[in-house]
Copies of this chain bind each other. A is one copy, B any other.
Amino acid sequence: MATLPPKIAMKDRILETADRLFYLQGIRAIGVDTIAAEIGISKRTLYNHFPSKDALISAYLERRFVRPRPSDKPPAEQILATFDSLERRFASKDFRGCPFVNAVAELGTEAQSVRKVAIAFKESRRLWFRDLLIQLGVTDAEALATQLALLVDGSIAQDLVRNDPAMARAAKDAARVLLQNAGVKLGEPRETAKRPA
């Protein structure tokens, strides 16, 4: 009963550290030695928990695949809150773009499994948007969900190079226009650049 927890803890420590280093510095830039050294374990232990670096990369990406949990808030608020959450993450110095996009950019066509999970992640977010839009009675929820997803990924890419959290607000402003154009009634924008006239 006390043998399992340390085992799990070790695996988690490895994953956690790999996640941080992979994400911040790049998958190719980080070797397994670096990860092991960062935790203070031997490389052998790492390989006892993950059969290869590829397995570690896969586990890293699966760990990053977090579904948004259901919320009671009105759908429109949920959608717009997405961009507030983005802005907060952009403000962190530890934000370095979308791990899935980065992984595809880094590993290229070589790793098909990586692209697969990246596609699944993007699609899951798009579907989350879509379901909220359906709740709002939007006619072409499919198309609008795609467009909102574009704004999310666009702001992430822009912030990655510019390091400018304002990209999230710009995306939010655009999203508001798209939503209103689709007939969604929105409350007053609370804290935008310009105060309500």
Residues of A at the B interface (CB closer than 8 Å) are 24-26, 28-29, 96-98, 100-102, 104-110, 115, 118-119, 122-123, 143, 146-147, 149-158, 160-162, 166-167, 170-171, 173-174, 177-178, 181, 193
Say yes or no: B162 contacts A119, CB within 8 Å. Answer: yes
Cα of A108 to Cα of B163 in the assembled complex, Å: 12
In the assembled complex, 24 residue pairs joining A and B whose CB atoms fall closer than 8 Å, in A order, are A24-B108, A24-B109, A25-B108, A26-B108, A29-B108, A97-B105, A101-B160, A104-B160, A106-B106, A119-B162, A122-B158, A146-B170, A147-B171, A147-B174, A149-B158, A150-B154, A150-B155, A150-B158, A150-B170, A153-B154, A153-B158, A154-B154, A174-B174, A174-B178
From DSSP, what is the main secondary structure of chain A's interface residues?
helix
Cα of A157 to Cα of B105 in the assembled complex, Å: 9
Partner of A151, one of B98, B151, B160, B167: B151
Residues of B within 8 A of A25 (CB): 108-110
Partner of A161, one of B100, B110, B151, B177: B100
Taking A119-B162, A162-B122, A171-B150 as contacts, is the C-beta distance between A157 and B26 under 8 angstroms?
Answer: no
**Please, which residue of chain B has its CB at the minimum distance from the CB of A120?**
B161
Give the Cβ gap from A162 to chain B, nearest Cβ, in Å.
6
Residues of B within 8 A of A150 (CB): 150-151, 154-155, 158, 167, 170-171, 174
Taking A155-B150, A167-B146, A178-B177 as contacts, is the C-beta distance between A161 and B119 under 8 angstroms?
Answer: yes
